[in-house]
Structure 1
Amino acid sequence: MDVILVPGFWLDASSWDAVTPPLVAAGHRVHPVTLPGLEDGSEVARHASLGLRDWVDAVVALVDSVDGPVVLVGHSGGGAVIHAVVDARPDRVRRAIYTDSWPTGQGSVINDELPAEGDSIPLPPWEFFEDRDLIGLDDTLRERFRAVARPIPAAAATDPQQLSDSPARYRVPVTVVTCEYPAAEVRRLLEGGLPWFAELATVEDVTYVDLPTGHWPQLTRPQDLGEVLLREVERTAT
């Protein structure tokens, strides 16, 4: 199975390096993504011309470049990206796995509260985040994260999600890997009609997997995340 891994903000394809070994060992083809504008430091000059749709289009092009069905994995803001890809290619996606994220609905934005510097949003100071975001992210991991973090195009965080009016995306099975909040709490919030979860509430087939840690499990629990992804890919492929 081809597995496309889309990172969240400030991270590139290398952020999946410690996650993918179980998938590779099982014979799956992994495609970690570096989204447009994060290729290297010089890409900051292009941030004024890049937005959420450019990220979506890049992943759609990757889906189109491989043969057969794919599994999409999206972490954090990458969840909005893969949901738009599911909408664009529902017949090609066998499963969408949202890692500490969920489907972002039409017109919603990923996060319009992040502090921008011109056309870019660098990784904020740790004080910006909630305590639960940082669970498991010790000083060593924080230093490692900050050393590799790259600014993102500001519009990628603030552009409204653009989806079609087709219901086909709701028929693609979804797995939600819950990290900061346990699955039981996510279900409670969903059933309570919280607008954030309105799109997820419409998906026909949803599986929840608890992986207790902070917001960056690919850094704090990479081996465990790799095993979770392998189980979800394997049962999808059968």
Structure 2
Amino acid sequence: MTTATSSPTIILIAGHWLGAWAWDDVLEHLDNHHLHALAMTLPGLDADDPERSSRTLDAQADAILGVITEHGNQPAILVAHSGANAPVSLVMDRHPELVHRVVWVDSGPAATGSVFAPDLPEELEELPLPPFDVLAQQASLEGLSAEVLEQFRARAVPEPGPVLRQPIELTNGGRRKVRTTLICCSIPSAQVLELAQTGHPMFAEVANLEHLDVIDLPTGHWPMWSSPRDLAKAIQSEAFRTN
């Protein structure tokens, strides 16, 4: 029987404005008798860090690598939601041998040279969570109750400016050999794959992946809150996938 000591560690990494707390409901549904799963807060997203607004993508990537090496002596499964794709892409570029599988949650691998917010003014130290009517124009809020949105607003941490402005430099083709799963939520997988084939900047890198699986989980952009049980089930199924 597969046990937590023989299966890879699953590291859950949330996107912009979020910390480890965002995964609480998903962790409750993961079978931790057979899995070793944990959530982490990226540098810059800890509200108690006095220097959080100066944290960079490099610092975030280093922190992920630190968690991988701290937990076990085998490659980990990285579960990256939304804007966590930037530091996770750096990790896969620098140390693909440390990643057993990457699971993108309503996200995908970043392309070299991409910048999340190239027009963000240099003098802007951080970007707070925008009003929800503005956010809804950028990402689907489907399935989020008023209570969840209230918690999101109360616990969100402004995103560091350097993280949003830093170009992503990738040089190692080995990252494209890592087993990859797309969990498609706000955009169906068929549309994602079509956009990838046509070279859409957001998904172009998907077309270069050598080992790709897709799962459709129709909901909004934050499935860890709108559909935590189904998301946990999907993550768990990928943890035990052998190909």
Instruction: Indicate the percent of aligned positions where both proteins have the same amino acid.
Output: 36
SS in 1 for 2:67: helix
Letter aligned with residue 54 of structure 1: A
2:22 — aligned with what?
15
Q: Check conservation: 1:98, 1:177, Cα contact below 8 A.
A: yes
The structural deviation recorded for 1:87 is: 1.3
The structural deviation recorded for 1:166 is: 2.2
Q: Distance in 1 between matches of 2:127 and 2:192?
A: 28
Q: Check conservation: 1:47, 1:119, Cα contact below 8 A.
A: no
Q: TM-score, normalised by structure 2?
A: 0.89
1:139 — aligned with what?
146
Q: Distance in 2 between matches of 1:18 and 1:229?
A: 13
1:3 — aligned with what?
10
* 1:136-161 superposed Cα distances (whole Å, 9 cap, x missing partner): 12212111111111112111122111
Q: Indicate which of 62, 69, 91 corresponds to 1:64.
A: 69
2:54 corresponds to 1:49: yes
Report 1:1-238 matches (<5 A): 1-40=8-47, 42-43=48-49, 45-66=50-71, 67-112=73-118, 118-130=124-136, 133-163=140-170, 165-236=171-242
The structural deviation recorded for 1:92 is: 1.7
Aligned CA distance change for structure 1 residues 204 and 50 (closer, same or farther; 3 Å): same
Q: TM-score, normalised by structure 1?
A: 0.91
Aligned CA distance change for structure 1 residues 180 and 51 (closer, same or farther; 3 Å): same
Q: Check conservation: 1:115, 1:121, Cα contact below 8 A.
A: no
The structural deviation recorded for 1:107 is: 1.1
Letter aligned with residue 19 of structure 1: V
The structural deviation recorded for 1:116 is: 9.4
Aligned CA distance change for structure 1 residues 114 and 123 (closer, same or farther; 3 Å): farther
Q: Check conservation: 2:46, 2:52, Cα contact below 8 A.
A: no
RMSD: 2.0
The structural deviation recorded for 1:130 is: 3.2
The structural deviation recorded for 1:200 is: 1.6
Q: Check conservation: 1:112, 1:157, Cα contact below 8 A.
A: yes
Q: Check conservation: 2:20, 2:41, Cα contact below 8 A.
A: yes
